[in-house]
Amino acid sequence: MHIQQFNNLKKIATQFSNDYQLSSELYDRHVELIEAVAGCEMEESFKRAILRAGVRYEVLEAAFESDDFEELMSSFKRELTGVIARLDLADQIDSKRNAA
């Protein structure tokens, strides 16, 4: 994706808060993406990377079992899917404009 195209998507995405219908569509898309990644095992990728960096397995397991980890991973997924949902909806709008 080119910088100009990305900036165009960001410009479209700023309009979502001013339009109830777009805001509703964004919410629906965000929920859909959250549900799509609910079963995703992102933790395994993190584990491999952290272990390669030299952290002992026992320390890593203790961190993964903590309440903080679960809360942070949930927040991470929610925030990331929010960013993706905004750009995806903006891309859908842009594609419809270009097709017209």
DSSP state of 99: H
**Mean pLDDT across the stretch 73-94?**
93
* pLDDT at position 71 over 80: yes
> Is residue 65 a contact partner of residue 1, using CB atoms and an 8 Å limit?
no
Q: Sign (positive/negative) of CA torsion 8, 10, 13, 14?
A: negative
Residue 27 pLDDT: 96
Question: What's the pLDDT band for 60 if we cut at 50, 70, 90?
Answer: very high
Q: What rounded mean pLDDT belongs to the chain?
A: 90
Residue 98 pLDDT: 82
Question: What's the pLDDT band for 82 if we cut at 50, 70, 90?
Answer: very high
**Mean pLDDT across the stretch 58-63?**
93
Question: What's the pLDDT band for 20 if we cut at 50, 70, 90?
Answer: very high
| pTM to 2 decimal places | 0.79
Residue 46 pLDDT: 83
> Is residue 83 a contact partner of residue 29, using CB atoms and an 8 Å limit?
no
- What DSSP string runs through 43-92? HHHHHHHHHHTT--HHHHHHHHHSHHHHHHHHHHHHHHHHHHHHHHHHHH
Residue 13 pLDDT: 92
